[in-house]
Structure 1
């Protein structure tokens, strides 16, 4: 009996916190955040119009990319004439124009019958061209009695 008491007397209880499980949890969370953080910034910056939108007052002529009901692209650079372009020409011309005028507004005007994918494709092309902000154009709604 006495041998049991001696062995118990030699073992002292440790009053320490085991932090290994906490470190494991923190490392898992760190990995999750490192993987998901880049995915949260993949959107295209656009400025959607408000319900009572007013006209944009700007000194510079905007770059206007129009998409017709068939999905064809048309480009108007500043005060120049509107011209039909394909995706590669659109990216190269807008890129060159934005490099010369970094503060120029870039607007997309899409036919209301065109699908959302075509407008989204134009936004991606403009992002590749280096346009910092892209706005969407719309017509003002008619007064309630004029519909």
Structure 2
């Protein structure tokens, strides 16, 4: 079989190109981050959905105050008072007479364990005061009244002062 001059150059050139082309590419040494981003987005969505479900379960409408939020160090006991005066420890309803024994049982020997009192803004002052007095006389030392932020100001010093507005002259 006879090869023409064009055929000889075509096959030799193709072999040479293939041999050199393979050596230039090498292995891919970069990390593919697309699966990592996909997993992180799924985790972000899961946490965004599950975070509101982790709050204390009894729905009450908290009153608004100018005080900021607290940073809690340990898992507190939560006492909720609904607008009709119903008292809850965690999510379980409890009568007023059984409130202090129930909290002492839950706290054990830790009377310094924080107790968060969440009272509905429409609950009567008498019920809230009685619950807080019962907690205080039971030996608990860290009783906190929980409120919402963003309420009316008392005229005191604001937490973050607003920048002064420049005066402009109008003709």
Q: How many Å separate the matches in 1 of 2:100 and 2:67?
A: 32
The answer for unaligned runs of 5 or more in structure 1 is: 1-48, 77-81, 143-147
Match of residue 86 from structure 1: 95
Task: Say which of 90, 102, 107 aligns to 2:111.
Answer: 102
The structure with the largest alpha-carbon Rg is: 2
Any idea what SS the aligned residue of 1:131 has?
A: coil
- Match status 1:116 vs 2:131: no
Q: CA deviation at 1:122?
A: 0.4
Q: Normalization by structure 1: what TM-score?
A: 0.53
Match of residue 141 from structure 1: 150
Q: CA deviation at 1:72?
A: 0.6
Determine if contact 1:94/1:129 at 8 Å carries over to the other structure. Answer: no
Determine if contact 2:77/2:116 at 8 Å carries over to the other structure. Answer: yes
- Match status 1:62 vs 2:105: no
**Is the alpha carbon distance of 1:111 and 1:101 closer, same or farther for their aligned partners in structure 2, counting shifts above 3 Å?**
same
Count the aligned residue pairs.
88
